[in-house]
Amino acid sequence: MSCSENDGNILMVSKEQLESSSTDEGSCSGSSTGGGTVNLKKGPWTTAEDALLISYVQKHGEGNWNAVQRHSGLLRCGKSCRLRWANHLRPHLKKGAFTTEEEQFIIQMHSKMGNRWARMAALLPGRTDNEIKNYWNTRVKRRSRAGLPLYPTKVNLQTSDENQLIQSATELSSGNQQNIGILPGTINGTLELRFLPHKANPGPPPYPPHFSDIPVTAMPSHGLGYYTRCFLNPQGDHAKQTWESETSFPGCHFGLKSMVPAFEDLSSLNSEPVYLNPGIGYPHDPDPESKKNLASFICPIPGNHALSNGNFSSSRLLPGAVKMELPSLQSTEADYNDWNTSASLFTSSYDAVDSYIQSPENVSVQSDCASPKNKGLLEDLVQESKAISIGKKQSLEKSFDDTMTGSSTVKLEDIRDPTSPFCLSAVSLFNECSAKQDKCAPNLPDFLRPDVLLGSGWFIGNSRSAIDSISGPLGENLREDLVPGPAGISSMASLESYPWTNMPRVCQMSELQ
């Protein structure tokens, strides 16, 4: 760090310091402003500074943030400027409390992606990664204090299905492959997504997509949230392909509606399969400048300022600049009412391969997020406790049965087209998973993955005490519900019940074996 703090929030940085700053971009450094000392301000931004920054961006566009200070006279480092712009000054930022849908979506996404705040933000129109992160951290704290599992029960339960899919993915590496599409159908009144031969998909042709990377990140420190990701990335330009939702969907109440049917719309699809496609919503457009085409296709809503002024977003929405969350290879199922459909539907739209959605549970419970404005937290917790108590056994058994009997409707072995992005991604996914595992616990395959941990029984030995530790305040019913039943279920419940103060990290988990 080349900055030294001085007088509160003014950093005195000598030219020598700046010039000698190496690759460490951790703090504000690298200003090449000529002449002696540069005072870089820290702390809260003033309106005057905001105005300077806005003015700069309007003139020069986003990017080149380190030049902001040079050109605008703003005494802020580039990173600070970028952050300020991204989190506060960008157009079409949505301020205020998260809606219930957004909250549910975040929970769902976190169960699949872990702490990929930026990626979640890319899927939540008008929301920033920082907002989501703050929301999540608050939630973690809250639920930790209440001794509740971080995720709704059924989100955890997805993990066994993920195992199944991962396993199926391995088969792809050697089997025949064929293009796939996604067919949401219905079973028992909920959406079900199935892979279909790609040719079966009507509508605009997708990009000739390829999935470029499926990195597997380290576990979140709280030990939950394995995920993978994969982007539809027809142009190979990672840096510029962030799909900035507020750019894409300004004016959308919930921007994803413009890409996928609204919840209420989807609920009406119960009796009819709906063809989705990996490229849904993203018509091929070879012209990188034709933003309007894409915009009108994705979100035919008037008043698309971002596109009309053509000046916004470092994460410009390029044609094909589609960030597509891909196979986290988990099914989704939640304890909640609307959550059952809505969140799952979200998921199905993003995670094209991640499309096994289980039947809903006929358990009427309240969302822990349902209360407006994030208030009524105690109520939420009480409700969730009740929900767990009432519905958990039922849900667990059903989900477990579905998993164990192979009722999953995603059959990756049927996906055999070598040109299929999903095939590639699935294989890559597996490879990367494997590679990552090797790093951490070479002889304990899969133990990087909480879902595998959940199903591995690693915790069984300690489960009773952990269950006791959290179920105590929640009553005996819950305790009983958490007590190991079938192996898979019990181990899942066990991790769910892992004491918050002692949540093992992944490698530690493997060592526990």
Partner DNA sequence: AACGGAAACAACCGCCGGTAA
Partner DNA sequence: CTTACCGGCGGTTGTTTCCGT
- Site of interaction with DNA (CB under 7 A): 1, 3, 5, 9, 19, 21-28, 30, 32, 41-45, 62-67, 76, 78-80, 82-84, 86-88, 96-97, 115-119, 122, 129-131, 133-135, 137-139, 141-142, 145, 213, 220-221, 237-239, 242, 314-315, 374-375, 377
**Residue whose CB is less far from DNA, 160 or 241:** 241
CB of residue 78 to DNA, shortest distance in Å: 4
Residue with tokens 């460490």: 24
CA distances from 337 to 21, 100, 298, 375 (A): 54, 12, 28, 19
CB of residue 82 to DNA, shortest distance in Å: 4
Alpha helix positions (H), 359-485:
377-404, 421-440, 450-456, 460-471, 476-482
- Please name the amino acid found at residue 488: G
CB of residue 362 to DNA, shortest distance in Å: 31
CB of residue 284 to DNA, shortest distance in Å: 22
**Cβ atoms 435, 213 nearer than 8 A:** no
CB of residue 372 to DNA, shortest distance in Å: 11
**Residue whose CB is less far from DNA, 10 or 262:** 10
**Residue whose CB is less far from DNA, 7 or 272:** 7
CB of residue 30 to DNA, shortest distance in Å: 4
CB of residue 169 to DNA, shortest distance in Å: 22
**Residue whose CB is less far from DNA, 66 or 190:** 66
**Best CA proximity match to 163, nearest among 457, 364, 502:** 457
CB of residue 410 to DNA, shortest distance in Å: 25
CA angle 254, 258, 261 (to 5 degrees): 90
CB of residue 140 to DNA, shortest distance in Å: 10
**Residue whose CB is less far from DNA, 59 or 145:** 145
Residues present in the chain in total? 513
CA distances from 313 to 71, 103, 130, 237, 258 (A): 19, 24, 17, 16, 19
**C-beta pairs of 101-105 under 8 Å, 24+ apart in sequence:** 101/254, 101/263, 101/342, 102/127, 102/254, 103/135, 103/367, 103/369, 103/374, 104/334, 104/336, 104/338, 104/339, 104/342, 104/343, 104/367, 104/369, 105/256, 105/342, 105/343, 105/346
CB of residue 73 to DNA, shortest distance in Å: 16
CB of residue 378 to DNA, shortest distance in Å: 9
**Residue whose CB is less far from DNA, 220 or 484:** 220
**Residue whose CB is less far from DNA, 91 or 273:** 91
**Cβ atoms 115, 225 nearer than 8 A:** yes
**Residue whose CB is less far from DNA, 66 or 170:** 66
**Cβ atoms 295, 196 nearer than 8 A:** no
**Residue whose CB is less far from DNA, 44 or 303:** 44
Give burial (CB, 10 Å; 0-12/13-18/19+) of 429: buried
**Cβ atoms 103, 336 nearer than 8 A:** no
CB of residue 453 to DNA, shortest distance in Å: 18
Chain centre distance of CA 421? 20
**Residue whose CB is less far from DNA, 82 or 112:** 82
**Residue whose CB is less far from DNA, 154 or 323:** 323
CB of residue 439 to DNA, shortest distance in Å: 12
Residue with tokens 């989100």: 155
**Residue whose CB is less far from DNA, 226 or 356:** 226
Integer Rg of the chain from CA? 24
**Cβ atoms 432, 214 nearer than 8 A:** yes
**Cβ atoms 51, 85 nearer than 8 A:** no
- Please name the amino acid found at residue 338: D
Separation of first and last alpha carbons in the chain: 40
CA angle 254, 322, 92 (to 5 degrees): 40
SS3 annotation, 243-284: CCHHHHCCCCCCHHHHCCCCHHHHHCCCCCCCCECCCCCCCC
DSSP track, 293-325: HHHHHH---S--HHHHH----SS---TT-----
**Residue whose CB is less far from DNA, 42 or 292:** 42
Give burial (CB, 10 Å; 0-12/13-18/19+) of 240: middle
**Cβ atoms 343, 109 nearer than 8 A:** no
